[in-house]
Chain A
Amino acid sequence: MISYIIRRLLYAILILIGVNLITFFLFFEVNSPDDMARVHLGVKRVTPEAIQKWKEERGYDKPRFHNDAATGARRFTDTLFFEKSIKLFAFEFGRSDQGRDIGYDISTRMWPSLAIALPVFLLGLVAYLTFALTMAFFRATYVDFWGVVACVAMMSISGLFYIIGGQYLIGKLLGIVPISGYDGGTDALKFLVLPVIIGVVAGIGASTRWYRTIFIEEINKDYVRTARAKGLSEPRVLFRHVLQNAMIPILTGVVVVIPLLFMGSLVTEAFFGIPGLGSYTIDAINSQDFAVVRAMVFLGSVLYIIGLILTDISYTLVDPRVRFE
């Protein structure tokens, strides 16, 4: 197990190098450092000298991947790519192109993102499981039928409509919660209600249907029939046996997204004015802050890889037959 994890970590470093290469290529293919300087220096009266200085100060005047002017190993180390990416591996994100401390920004903006993503994830899981169980319980009745119809209809609606509609209905017409905004501490609660509800509702269709399929599959298995034949009541069969066994594919399926909850969601955060990492990313793209984009891509990749490792581990935990050599 330990050696497996060590191997995975080495592999992760390899992947992160690849991620960095791709980010670098894509970003500088789009934006020359000149462009970045122009965006940061503003609109009116920008001179070529100021651009040159801006680049020098932030180290963007070096060649990208290969420095012909240097010798030996410095051909590769004295480049933009090497200088800008090596520190990431120590989680030193450095300063953004606007001069802000990225690490500090991330550490403060992570919590609002999590404050929305985590409740959506947990409440969602509970709600979807409840709905799916209800449908499985009443299978082959009108509840199941219309439930599935409702699920398919709901998953066919674009997430944008949930946000726009929810804000209009709950925030404006009913006036129950603030339309948007955020605050620290317990005051955050009233701002979180709406995005969390919308997040949960938006996911009902796809997830409920998925869980229901798993339950129905499980119900049709032989051991369930045996349990029923032994005279166990339907609720007992459902909760004791089916739910327990169906949780394995469900949990292992969702483990991969848990670390990514930190990253927040882009559209929701923009709409509700939540100062999380999702809006941080969008802002960085819009203002062409490469340092932030790179840090966020790196963070996202790290979290994704952690998710993959967690998935593997969760397999061994729930199913003792799985072993990693």
Chain B
Amino acid sequence: MESTIIKAVNYNAYFGDNQVVKEVSMDIARNSVVAVMGPSGCGKTTFLRGINRMHELVPSAHANGKIWLNNEDIMEMHPIVVRLKIGMVFQRPNPFPNLSIHDNVLAGYKLNGIKLSKSERERIVEESLVKVALWKEVKDSLMKKGTFLSGGQQQRLCIARAVAMQPEVLLFDEPTSALDPISTAMVEELFKELKKNYTLIIVTHNMQQAARVSDKTAFFYMGELVEYDDTKLMFTNPTDQRTQNYITGRFS
């Protein structure tokens, strides 16, 4: 199996005439954790959403350039297939409020009309919740509505929901910025585990988080990919002055 799972080549993204991502090329290795950081408005979230083709859902949004998933051009694939292989977790935990915890985990199957046998359903629910360290906490209240959990638990539920679809890649859009420090730490612990089976791409505002969890870090500034390197190098001796200015807080 090749070691590069996602490859972007000269990817550009626009909202109408406004170019938000400029000529971004990067290779992401299988089973690695890549952090994407940069100041507000630098294009990191837009780029992330380009990977699972959520970007094109916004009216007037368009993009060009190539992104490959396992050597397949994602623009040639059906967007739904892309999103089944590349899951996403958002900034604000968003479990479906009208579904129970159990149904939330299976939402990708149920709401898409995919039929599963009872034993398969139970297995998927348990496995997914175990993977996000939530099983013990909720196994006796699986029928409660998803919104009655705490913020950190809700976010882990959303990760379980994404993981249940057995994707290859998981995208995280500032996943802990709405969580308290303890929940944040729990989610960061999860990344270490999840990395064994999935490839993680995490957009974060929090530089220390990028430093803590990722193998490689990408720094975006004004739509460009300024630097993309091993995290250790990035934080001890970055190559680009802009990267250095950002991580040392010379501008936010």
Are A and B physically bound partners? no
